[in-house]
């Protein structure tokens, strides 16, 4: 599938997969596709950063390759490794067979049969559907040396494996990087990318997202849920609920056949939106009632 020709088309295509995308985000996505530049998305947890890569892969019908970053992630786990146990077995088998040709064995041991391709190498392989989408998720969790390595990898999209040779992507993958900003990512890397801060959606957009994901939730309840969650986000709590939590909570309320939010229902189900005991303790009881009253007033005024 070719890339959408306009920003509106990007919005429409993403909406078809259930991803609700504001104009600003659609614009950077469009530009990133058009100019072939990596897209760097930063934002709070659960605001749809990872999801956009999945949605794009769906609507462009491309393969999605995900590199989940973590502390200690190094180049070999990101690009390729040799299958050491399989190599050992092959050596033992050759020895048992006796009189193995050393040269042939050596060549076989370092052929593609024994190569474990990790996400960056996978993303360089040709694909008949077109360049894949490479999601480099939660980059802030990796260490700086890995970031430096990535900077180079993103500029030429080729890998040299001494025993095999150089592998180059026929067409560079569509790269999406995400970060929760637990640390600042280096400027040099950011400079190569188009940048967008994914914020919490406003009221109408969050209602739209909830409707796209959980159409069974009634309009009144949806509005109450969103107004309450948005109210919660203005409170002084340790971990604010993201869109993911809104959707989860709505699913719980649906399962409990709730039609109207009440302080009791909220305190019984707070675990779906708040994940820290201190936050739960702070909000349950009187605070929940106050935020709910404000939320209901907001829904009525709208």
Q: Which residue has the tokens 């303790």?
A: 281
Q: Please, are residues 39 and 176 in contact by the beta-carbon 8 Å criterion? A: yes
DSSP 163: T
Query: Does 244 engage in binding with ligand ATP (CB under 6 A)?
Result: yes
Q: Taking the complex as a whole, how short is the minimal distance between the CB of residue 261 and ligand ATP, in angstroms?
A: 20
Nearer to Mg ion, 50 or 224 (CB): 50
Query: Does 241 engage in binding with ligand ATP (CB under 6 A)?
Result: no
Q: With contacts defined by CB under 6 A, name the span among 89-97, 125-133, 223-231, 239-247 that binds ligand ATP.
A: 239-247
Tokens (6 digits) for 249: 């909570």
Nearer to ligand ATP, 117 or 208 (CB): 208
Spell out the residues 6+ positions from residue 129 whose beta carbon is closer than 8 angstroms to its own: 1, 61, 62, 63
Nearer to ligand ATP, 138 or 299 (CB): 138
Q: Taking the complex as a whole, how short is the minimal distance between the CB of residue 49 and Mg ion, in angstroms?
A: 5
Q: Among 245, 255, 262, 260, which Cα is nearest to 210's?
A: 245
Query: Does 50 engage in binding with Mg ion (CB under 5 A)?
Result: yes
Specify the 3-state DSSP secondary structure of 290: helix
DSSP 302: -
How many Cα atoms sit within 13 Å of 104 on the Cβ side? 5
- Given Mg ion, ligand ATP, none, residue 46, with its beta carbon under 5 to 8 Å by kind, binds ligand ATP
- Alpha helix segments (H runs only) across the chain: 7-16, 23-35, 49-60, 75-78, 84-97, 102-109, 119-122, 144-156, 187-191, 203-213, 219-233, 243-255, 263-269, 277-283, 286-301
User: How many chain residues are in contact with ligand ATP, going by CB under 6 A?
Assistant: 19
Specify the 3-state DSSP secondary structure of 100: coil
Q: For ligand ATP, what does the binding mask look like between residues 178 and 197, x meaning CB under 6 A?
A: x-x-----------------
Query: Does 50 engage in binding with ligand ATP (CB under 6 A)?
Result: yes
Which of 26, 39, 47, 217 touches ligand ATP by CB under 6 A?
47
Q: With contacts defined by CB under 5 A, name the span among 46-54, 104-112, 231-239, 273-281 that binds Mg ion.
A: 46-54
Measured distance CA(125)–CA(132) in Å, rounded: 9
Site for ligand ATP in 17-46 (CB under 6 A): 18-20, 43, 45-46
DSSP 136: E
Query: Does 248 engage in binding with ligand ATP (CB under 6 A)?
Result: no
Nearer to ligand ATP, 75 or 212 (CB): 212
Q: Please, are residues 38 and 176 in contact by the beta-carbon 8 Å criterion? A: yes
Query: Does 51 engage in binding with ligand ATP (CB under 6 A)?
Result: yes
Query: Does 223 engage in binding with ligand ATP (CB under 6 A)?
Result: no
Q: Which residues pair with 159 in a beta bridge?
A: 167
Query: Does 209 engage in binding with ligand ATP (CB under 6 A)?
Result: yes
Nearer to ligand ATP, 47 or 177 (CB): 47
Site for ligand ATP in 130-189 (CB under 6 A): 178, 180
Q: Taking the complex as a whole, how short is the minimal distance between the CB of residue 213 and ligand ATP, in angstroms?
A: 5
Measured distance CA(102)–CA(100) in Å, rounded: 6
Which residues would be at the binding site for ligand ATP (CB under 6 A)?
A: 18-20, 43, 45-51, 178, 180, 209, 212-213, 243-244, 247
Task: Using CB under 5 A, list all residues that contact Mg ion.
Answer: 50
């Amino acid at each position: 599938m070719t890339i959408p020709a306009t920003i509106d088309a990007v919005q429409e295509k993403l909406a078809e997969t259930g991803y609700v995308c504001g104009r600003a985000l659609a614009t950077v996505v469009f530009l990133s596709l058009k100019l072939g530049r990596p897209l760097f998305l930063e934002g709070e947890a659960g605001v749809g950063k990872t999801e956009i890569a999945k949605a794009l892969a769906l609507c462009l019908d491309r393969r999605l390759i995900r590199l989940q970053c973590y502390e200690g992630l190094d180049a070999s786990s990101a690009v390729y490794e040799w299958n050491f146990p399989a190599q050992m077995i092959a050596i033992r088998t050759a020895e048992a067979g006796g009189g193995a040709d050393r040269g042939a064995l050596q060549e076989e041991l370092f052929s593609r049969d024994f190569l474990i391709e990790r996400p960056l190498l996978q993303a360089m392989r040709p694909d008949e559907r077109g360049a894949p989408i490479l999601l480099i998720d939660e980059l802030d969790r990796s260490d700086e040396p890995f970031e430096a390595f990535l900077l180079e990898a993103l500029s030429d999209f080729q890998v040299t494996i001494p025993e095999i040779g150089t592998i180059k992507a026929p067409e560079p993958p569509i790269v999406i990087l995400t970060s929760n900003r637990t640390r600042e990512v280096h400027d040099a890397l950011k400079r190569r990318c188009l940048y967008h801060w994914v914020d919490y959606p406003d009221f109408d957009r969050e209602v739209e997202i909830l409707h796209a994901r959980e159409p069974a939730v009634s309009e009144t309840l949806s509005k109450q849920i969103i107004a309450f969650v948005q109210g919660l986000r203005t409170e002084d709590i340790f971990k604010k609920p993201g869109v993911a939590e809104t959707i989860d909570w709505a699913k719980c309320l649906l399962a409990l056949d709730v039609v109207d939010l009440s302080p009791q229902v909220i305190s019984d189900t707070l675990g779906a939106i708040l994940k820290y005991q201190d936050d739960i303790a702070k909000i349950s009881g009187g605070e929940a009632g106050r935020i709910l009253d404000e939320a209901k007033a907001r829904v009525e005024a709208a």
